[in-house]
């Protein structure tokens, strides 16, 4: 298990380092301006779907169904054709009506800004069908316990965007956004190519392509399997996407605030997402195939053993990340972004938002882990109900906090919804199971380590202030 976690974590780390380099260049070139807001809006919707698909919903619904299927090749081909067809239709509609979609994403934009943003939304959306194919192939690779290709492939997107920024160095801000938008699509193509190579090398090509050959004549034999998958998929998408939908609504609400608010939220959220992806998402991806198989074979005791190890691993590392993120928020933001068009004032605003986000890191991370148990036990509808309640809490607190706190209020609302989601997911996981995990001597060590780490960071922060 830990080998798979390390592979995922290291791949995500490489990708996120490149992502921060990309964000540093983006902040330097565009700052927190109308054009940075436009690009983040344009990339927001396909990136939202990427996170929903790649970080759990599709995989956690498809993999158990794929494992149970008696006709894996035909079943996978059917699901692939069905989903890709729908996604391509949506992509074409977005390209035909980009202004309408842009207005729906950022209601607070005026007509002139929507007209500027619409072409970029249309270009960026072509990333969605590409990343769906990548995610589908990634799920097949995970079934074979191969994680490296998917973990490292996101780096290709960041490399593509870094090169786009490099080649657009002397261009206007509008032209830079065009370069970035086409860089997104090229990055998706590169991700697809490496996954196709991995599928071929692992001998999965015959299984993947074989289903298309017999799909038309044998589709009836998988009718029951596909019906069950579809009934579970949409609750799974909704149940697994609270954080992503909240982030999407951040953009919606922030479009009513001062120019740059969308960018501030984006930069802060990028830092927040690093430990979440590096540890919580990496652990969940690595652990899910094992837990699903144990539960399928009615070996709940062994599944719980893996859950317990993963829980405490995440509890320690996410607690440390939370403390570090809150205490050193200003220093981190300044180091990463304060150059070029990104000013000291931008750093101060982004810092306040980052601190609000970081308070929710532990509940969001642990909820990711507990959620995979619900999916492995095919409790998708329960997860969907939890997501609905959490999202309602987010909207209510966003509306309450946006006026007194601005963009920071939106980040705090997201954190509050994370706590609500974690509590409800723990309840669905089972009170007995949950207390079997937390009533452990490790809890005392966690509190002691947290206090000690906080004191050390405060001393380090004071050292930086005085001597640097």
The pLDDT value given to residue 162: 92
Whether 53 and 189 have beta carbons less than 8 Å apart is answered as: no
Which residues of the chain are modeled with pLDDT < 50?
A: 468
CA distances to 75, 86, 229 from 223, rounded to whole Å, are 9, 19, 10
Please report how the helices 2-30 and 34-54 are oriented relative to each other, as an axis angle in degrees rounded to 10.
Answer: 170
Q: What is the DSSP letter of 278?
A: I
Q: What is the DSSP letter of 280?
A: I
The pLDDT value given to residue 185: 93
The pLDDT value given to residue 194: 93
pLDDT in tens, 301-321: 888 888 888 888 888 889 999
Domain boundaries, the chain: 2-467
| Torsions phi, psi for 429 (to 5 deg) | -60, -30
φ/ψ region of 172 (left if φ > 0, alpha if ψ in -120 to 50, else beta) reads beta
Whether 394 and 387 have beta carbons less than 8 Å apart is answered as: no
Whether 65 and 228 have beta carbons less than 8 Å apart is answered as: yes
The pLDDT value given to residue 9: 67
pLDDT in tens, 46-55: 777 666 665 5
CA 14 to chain CA centroid, nearest Å: 16
Q: Decide: helix, strand or coil at residue 254.
A: helix
The pLDDT value given to residue 6: 67
Rg over CA atoms, the chain: 22
Question: Which residues are CB-contacts of 430 (< 8 A; sequence separation ≥ 6)?
Answer: none
Question: Which residues are CB-contacts of 202 (< 8 A; sequence separation ≥ 6)?
Answer: 141, 144, 146
Q: What distance in Å separates the CA atoms of residue 100 and residue 86, rounded to the nearest whole number?
A: 19
Nearest to 273 by CA among 32, 46, 47, 35: 47
């Amino acid at each position: 298990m830990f080998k798979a976690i390390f592979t995922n974590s290291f791949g995500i780390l490489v990708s996120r380092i490149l992502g921060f380099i990309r964000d540093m260049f983006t902040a330097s070139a565009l700052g927190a301006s109308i054009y940075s807001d436009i690009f983040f809006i344009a990339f927001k919707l396909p990136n939202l779907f990427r996170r929903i698909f790649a970080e759990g919903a599709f995989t956690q619904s498809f993999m158990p169904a794929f494992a149970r299927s008696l006709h894996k090749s035909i079943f996978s081909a059917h699901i692939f054709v069905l989903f890709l067809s729908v996604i391509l239709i949506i992509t074409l509609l977005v390209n035909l009506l980009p202004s309408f979609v842009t207005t729906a994403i950022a209601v607070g934009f005026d007509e002139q800004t929507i007209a500027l943003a619409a072409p970029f939304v249309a270009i960026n959306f072509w990333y969605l069908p590409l990343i769906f194919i990548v995610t589908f192939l990634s799920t097949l690779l995970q079934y074979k316990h191969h994680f490296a290709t998917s973990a490292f492939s996101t780096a290709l997107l960041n490399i593509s965007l870094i090169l786009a920024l490099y080649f657009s160095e002397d261009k206007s801000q509008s032209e830079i956004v065009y370069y970035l938008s086409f860089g997104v699509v090229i990055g998706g193509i590169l991700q697809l190519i490496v996954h196709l190579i991995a599928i071929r090398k692992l001998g999965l090509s015959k299984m993947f392509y074989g289903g298309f050959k017999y799909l038309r004549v044998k589709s009836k034999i998988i009718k029951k399997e596909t019906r069950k998958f579809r009934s579970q998929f949409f609750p799974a998408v909704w149940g697994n996407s609270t954080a992503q939908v909240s982030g999407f609504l951040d953009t919606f609400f922030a479009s009513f605030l001062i120019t740059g608010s969308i960018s501030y939220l984006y930069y802060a959220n990028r830092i927040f997402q690093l430990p979440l992806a590096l540890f919580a998402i990496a652990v969940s991806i690595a652990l899910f195939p094992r837990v699903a198989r144990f539960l399928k074979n009615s070996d709940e005791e062994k599944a719980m053993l893996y859950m317990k190890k993963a829980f405490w691993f995440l509890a320690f590392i996410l607690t440390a990340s939370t403390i570090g993120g809150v205490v050193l928020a200003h220093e981190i933001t300044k180091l990463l972004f304060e150059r070029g068009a990104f000013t000291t004032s931008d750093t101060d605003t982004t810092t306040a938002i980052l601190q609000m986000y970081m308070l929710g890191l532990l509940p969001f991370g642990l909820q990711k882990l507990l959620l995979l148990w619900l999916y492995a036990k095919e409790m998708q509808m329960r997860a969907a109900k939890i997501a609905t309640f959490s999202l309602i809490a987010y909207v209510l607190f966003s509306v309450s906090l946006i006026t007194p706190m601005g963009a920071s209020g939106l980040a705090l609302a997201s954190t509050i919804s994370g706590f609500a989601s974690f509590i409800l997911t723990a309840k669905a996981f089972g009170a007995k199971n949950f207390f079997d995990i937390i009533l452990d001597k490790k809890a005392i060590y966690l509190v002691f380590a947290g206090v000690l780490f906080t004191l050390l960071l405060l001393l380090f922060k004071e050292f930086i202030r005085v001597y640097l």
